[in-house]
Amino acid sequence: MSSYFADFASLFEQFDVFQAFWVNIQLTFFAAIGSMLLGTVLALMRVSPIASMRWLGAGYVNIIRNTPLTIILVFLVLGVWSQLQINLSSDFNQNFFRYAVIGLAIYHAAFVCEAIRSGVNTVPVGQAEAARAIGLGFLPSARLIIFPQALRGAITPLGNTLIALTKNTTVAAAASVTEISALMKSMIEFRPDVIIAVFLTVAIGFVLIVVPVGLLTTWASRKFAVVR
Amino acid sequence: MHHKKKLYSVAAMAAAAALTLTACGGGDDGGDGGGDGDSVRIGIKYDQPGLGFSDGGEYTGFDVDVAKYVAGELGYSEDQIEWVEAPSANRENMLQNNQVDMIFATYSITDARKETVDFAGPYFVAGQDLLVRADDDSINGPEDLDGKNLCSVTGSTSAENVREEVPGVNLVEQSGYADCVTMLGSGGVDAVTTDDIILAGLASTDANQGQFRVVGNTFSEEKYGVGLPKGSDQCEDINAAIEKMIDDGAWEDALTSNTEGADYQYNTELNPPTPEACAS
């Protein structure tokens, strides 16, 4: 058994596991920002008084949410990069990192939009009516009255989306980003003797990253909840 | 207290489910470990044209032909063979968990793998090579790759080799070689790298015929062996079958018919190989 642990330890000398996890964290960070921005705009569209905007928002959410993430990333790399030859960076590997961030942001924006929309639904309709009564238009009332309350009510679903995003960064391997799931494939290829340890390392790594996110979400949703 | 017990059993069930999922790969977990049972379960690739390919219930390729011959020599008729998909990352697990009796799936014999599984063979010695567009004569070996875009499969030995061999190459990693060949066709990459026979198989499919060229300048040696569960007693018989296949010409026939139209010549210095001595 002790030799198994020695083999296991040598895994960390042979492969840079921490660097690979760091790539996943970076992907999560940038894609979270991107999907939050895009998702907020989509949510605005979906609750707007303009019918064509609502359709556009609903269309985006229904199409993207029902498309597998792998398909989106493979499309970006095989279609947009290889076929159309569009480079997002002069650095070869950075180019794929950016494609992966864009793909992840596009996909998760649909979920962020729905999370925020569920938050909007927690705001009593009287708030919107009061905003209209004092003469605020759609955008000012959304910015000043509705969304601040909606975001506070949407913390839990947004946290769930963030957790899903964190784990979905492993799909970035499909976009040629060397993150932990790509490294895991290398480790399985070269070190099949410690295959169980390889799986456990990756699984425990994700638990260590995701559990704090969950705890933070729970704490924040209590702290910032709108008491009604 | 009762509540806690329930929790444990739920956790145990979850763990069991997770283990079953990890061991996915299809095929029922029959109890008999080969020998003279009524069927033999053989692991092959389903997605590698020219080697192991599932074409609507038909299985074709060089690995499949060798497997059929060997199974025949071991006393199994073709309809006693149960084909099971053996993706690269699952091969050791499938042998250890007794999901297959033997694996013919471009399975290179390496010391690390010998720790967990046994090998018979080799039945072919492949080498890492390059696939380029037929009209591109600027790439004739790894030394021409500096600054070029190259595609290989995520986490594969080929990808790792080329990273060491040519540090200046721009490596794109995809989930399968078919994606790489698509990229090669559309101009995103200038070459695809992996074992020469795999490239030849890809270049000889109906859709790709005549479009690509296998460079024929190998820079590694991959001995394709037959993966067996550790401690298997079938190694000697399989080696005898492979030798017989090479002697009676069936080996050569299988190789030519499966790489037809790819403009490919296997490395005749290393092939046909002599099977190595069996472990223990």
Q: CB–CB of B89 and A190 under 8 A?
A: no
Least CB–CB distance from A83: residue in B172, B174, B186: B186
Confidence check: pLDDT of B56 > 90: no
Contact A191 B112 (CB under 8 A): yes
Task: Please give the helix or strand (H or E) that residue A216 lies within, else none.
Answer: helix A195-224
A170 CB neighbours in chain B (<8 A) are none
Which structure tokens are listed for B184? 């090669």
* Amino acid B33: pLDDT: 43
**Chain B residues with CB inside 8 Å of A202's CB?**
none
- The domain limits of chain A are 2-224
Mean pLDDT confidence for B13-33: 47
Query: CATH number of the domain that B89 lies in?
Result: 3.40.190.10
pLDDT band per the 50, 70, 90 thresholds, residue B146: confident
Check: pTM over 0.80? Answer yes or no.
no
CA nearest neighbour of B65 among B270, B265, B264, B255 = B255
Q: What is the pLDDT of residue B37?
A: 57
For B139-165, b/e burial (b = at least 16 CB within 10 A) is beebebbeebbbbbbbbbbbbebbeee
A184 touches chain B (CB under 8 A): yes
Q: Is B69 a domain residue?
A: yes
Within a domain: residue B264? no
Give the pLDDT confidence score for residue B207 in this predicted structure.
Answer: 84
**Are residues B232 and B110 part of one domain?**
yes
Q: From CA A46, how far away is CA A58, in angstroms rounded?
A: 6
Q: Please, which residues bridge with residue B151 across strands?
A: B172, B192
Contact call for A176 and B172, based on CB within 8 A: yes
Q: Are residues B81 and B93 in the same domain?
A: yes
Q: What is the pLDDT of residues B159-174, one digit of tens each?
A: 888 888 888 899 999 9
Output the pLDDT for position B254. 92
pLDDT of residue A46: 94
Predicted local confidence at residue B30, as pLDDT = 40
Residue A88 pLDDT > 50, yes or no? yes
Distance CA A120, CA A130 (A): 15
**Which of A4, A73, A80, A82 is most worth mutating to test chain B (most B CB atoms within 10 A of its CB)?**
A82
Within 10 A of A47 (CB to CB), how many other CB atoms are there? 19
Pick from B9, B227, B231, B14: which is nearest to B123 by CA? B227
pLDDT of amino acid A1: 57
A178 touches chain B (CB under 8 A): yes
Helix locations, chain B, DSSP H: 2-22, 62-73, 91-96, 111-114, 157-165, 177-186, 196-203, 235-247, 250-258
Please say if the pLDDT value at position B26 is more than 50.
Answer: no
Look at residue B54 and give its three-state secondary structure: strand
CA–CA dist A36, B113 (Å, integer): 45
Write out the E strands in B79-219. 81-85, 102-103, 117-126, 128-133, 149-153, 170-174, 191-195, 212-214
- Chain A nearest-CA distance from B264, in A, is 27
A193·B170 Cβ contact <8 A: no
Tell me the mean pLDDT in the region B110-135: 91
Residue B7, burial from CB neighbour count under 10 angstroms (0-12, 13-18, 19+) = exposed
Rounded mean pLDDT, B24-50 = 66
- CA B22 to the chain's CA centroid: 20
Give me the pLDDT at residue B18, please: 54
Put simply, the answer to whether A173 touches B157 (Cβ < 8 Å) is no
More confident residue, A39 or A86: A39
Higher pLDDT, B117 or B1: B117
Residues of chain A in contact with residue B174, where contact means CB-CB under 8 angstroms, are 77, 174, 176
Mean residue pLDDT of chain B comes to 85
CA–CA separation, B131 and B192 (whole Å): 5
Nearest CA in chain A to B90: A188
- Cβ–Cβ contact A99 with B under 8 A: no
Interval A32-48 mean pLDDT: 95
Residue A221 makes CB contacts below 8 A (sequence gap 6+) with A155, A156, A159
Nearest to A78 among B88, B89, B182 (CB): B182
Question: Tens of pLDDT along B186-236?
Answer: 889 999 999 999 999 998 888 888 889 899 888 889 999 999 999 899 999
B115–A186 C-beta distance less than 8 A = no
- Does residue B5 sit within a domain? no
For residue B144, CA distances in Å to A64, B116, B128, B149 come to 41, 38, 15, 11
A17: tokens are 């596991």
Same domain for B168 and B183, yes or no, is: yes
Q: What is the pLDDT of residues A155-182, one digit of tens each?
A: 999 999 999 999 999 999 988 898 999 9
CATH of region A2-224, choose from 1.10.3720.10, 3.40.190.10, 2.60.40.420, 3.30.450.40: 1.10.3720.10
Which residues face B85 on adjacent strands? B44
With a cut of 80, say whether residue A19 has pLDDT above it. Answer: yes
> Does residue B134 belong to any structural domain of this protein?
yes
Stretch among A140-144, B21-25, B106-110, B223-227 having the lowest mean pLDDT: B21-25
In chain B, the percentage of residues whose pLDDT exceeds 70 is: 86
With CA atoms as reference, the chain A residue closest to B152 would be A176
Contacts of A173 in chain B (CB under 8 A): 154, 173, 175
User: Does residue A113 carry a pLDDT above 70?
Assistant: yes
Among B182, B214, B246, give the residue marking a domain's end.
B214
Q: How far is B118 from chain A (nearest CA, A)?
A: 13
What's the one-letter identity of residue B91? R
- Judged by CB atoms closer than 8 Å, whether chains meet at B89 and A182 is answered as no
B128 sits in the region (left: phi over 0; alpha: psi -120 to 50; else beta) called beta
Domain interval for residue B198: 128-214
Count of A–B CB contacts within 8 Å? 72
pLDDT confidence bin for B34, thresholds 50/70/90: very low
What's the mean pLDDT when you consider all of chain A?
91
How many domains, in total, are found in chain B? 2
The average pLDDT across B244-270 equals 87
Quick one: pLDDT at residue B125? 93
If asked whether residues B72 and B179 sit together in one domain, one would say: no
Same domain, B111 and B132: no
Same domain, B72 and B132: no
Q: What is the pLDDT of residue A155?
A: 93
Residues B113 and B146 grouped into a single domain: no
Is B191 part of a structural domain of the chain? Answer: yes
Give this complex's ipTM.
0.76
Q: Is the pLDDT of residue B27 over 70?
A: no
Residue B8 confidence (pLDDT)? 59
